[in-house]
Amino acid sequence: MVAFDAGHPAMEPALPLEYFERLLLHNELFEDTVRFVGIGGNLHRPRIITRQEDIAGEPANESEIVEMMEKELGFRRLAARFALGYADSMAFARPGVAVFDLRPANVVRTADGLIVPIDTIPVRLDVVGERLLGRASTGG
């Protein structure tokens, strides 16, 4: 889960329902088919099990990811200080939604040149998140 209470995006542990909402939003934004399989683990450490089709290809580069998010999906890139995930992660927003942790390891370029995000952190923005990211400057 992504919270905005501290004046910037911050990762917080997600409840199972929040995790499922994130998966559904990822599927909606990127026309993916990640699906729920079941619950694994044990009584004290349950795990949600999902399945996603294997997408053959190579990691997309930064410019390919930016082009897909901005030109094809209507997002704008947020300043690096708003990124969550790894050092090379990028964040993007458009009205009502933001997507975090976009980086080459999480986005595949297929042999046909299709750019496919496979592991993102999308979030529907509440009023606080919308206000905060609406003021965010763009750029790396």
Q: Considering the domain boundaries, does residue 37 fall inside one?
A: yes
Q: Considering the domain boundaries, does residue 140 fall inside one?
A: no
For residue 137, the SS3 value is coil
pLDDT of residue 135: 67
Q: Considering the domain boundaries, does residue 120 fall inside one?
A: yes
Q: Considering the domain boundaries, does residue 139 fall inside one?
A: no
The separation between CA 30 and the C-alpha centre of its own chain, rounded to angstroms, equals: 10
Let me know if 102 is exposed, middle or buried by CB neighbors in 10 A (0-12, 13-18, 19+). buried
At residue 136 the predicted structure's pLDDT band, cuts being 50, 70 and 90, is: low
Section 89-99 average pLDDT: 96
- pLDDT, tens only, 4-35: 888 889 889 888 899 999 999 999 999 999 99
What is the domain count for the chain? Answer: 1
Angle (CA) 54-55-61 rounded to 5° is 140
Give residue 77's domain range: 2-134
Section 102-113 average pLDDT: 96
Q: Considering the domain boundaries, does residue 35 fall inside one?
A: yes
User: Is the Cβ–Cβ distance between 29 and 73 less than 8 Å?
Assistant: yes
User: Is the Cβ–Cβ distance between 109 and 60 less than 8 Å?
Assistant: yes
pLDDT of residue 140: 45
At residue 38 the predicted structure's pLDDT band, cuts being 50, 70 and 90, is: very high
pLDDT exceeds 60 at position 126: yes
